[in-house]
């Protein structure tokens, strides 16, 4: 009788341990999935036509806007200020440029409050980070 109770208790402990391991392993994939569902709002100015447009991108999604291919890899709000700083890591390709030595025309962090800190320099387009949407 005593040995049957110990066996059942051991099986319950093993099942709990296995379920905890599965939960811990899946927690990272849930966090990654939540990061990928975050949206980024960018403003794009066409300097030739003076048209201003706003686009929404998911993290990791590429979007073609005229002859630019835009991809946002990260977007985050600072957690320390009352007025949080919004930062994003953006990659931009100009599809008209066929040079193999320069893949991206912009591949860096950008800041919503001071876009001139790391400016997107293009003769036709300006891109500004507006906000991150959770």
The tens digit of pLDDT for each residue in 109-119 reads 988 888 778 77
Tens of pLDDT along 83-95? 678 889 999 998 8
Can you tell me the distance from the alpha carbon of 1 to that of 101, in angstroms, rounded to the nearest whole number?
A: 76
Q: What is the pLDDT of residues 45-100, one digit of tens each?
A: 999 999 999 999 999 999 998 889 999 999 988 777 666 788 899 999 988 887 77
Q: What is the DSSP pairing of strand 86-94 with strand 68-77?
A: antiparallel
Cβ distance 56 to 75 under 8 Å? no
Whole-model pTM? 0.66
pLDDT tens per residue across span 12-46:
777 766 777 677 777 555 445 445 578 999 999 99
Report the 10 Å Cβ neighbour count for 88. Answer: 23
């Amino acid at each position: 009788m005593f040995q049957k109770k110990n066996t059942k208790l051991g099986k319950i402990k093993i099942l709990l341990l296995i379920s905890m391991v599965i939960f811990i392993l899946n927690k990272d994939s849930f966090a990654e999935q939540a990061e990928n569902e975050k949206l980024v709002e960018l403003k794009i100015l066409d300097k030739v036509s003076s048209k201003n447009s706003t686009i929404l991108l998911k993290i990791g999604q590429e979007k073609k806007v005229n002859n630019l291919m835009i991809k946002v890899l990260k977007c985050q709000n600072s957690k320390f200020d009352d007025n949080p700083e919004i930062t994003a890591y953006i990659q931009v390709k100009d599809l008209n440029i066929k040079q193999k030595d320069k893949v991206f025309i912009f591949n860096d962090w950008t800041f919503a409050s001071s876009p001139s800190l790391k400016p997107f320099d293009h003769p036709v387009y300006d891109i500004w980070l507006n906000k991150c949407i959770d």
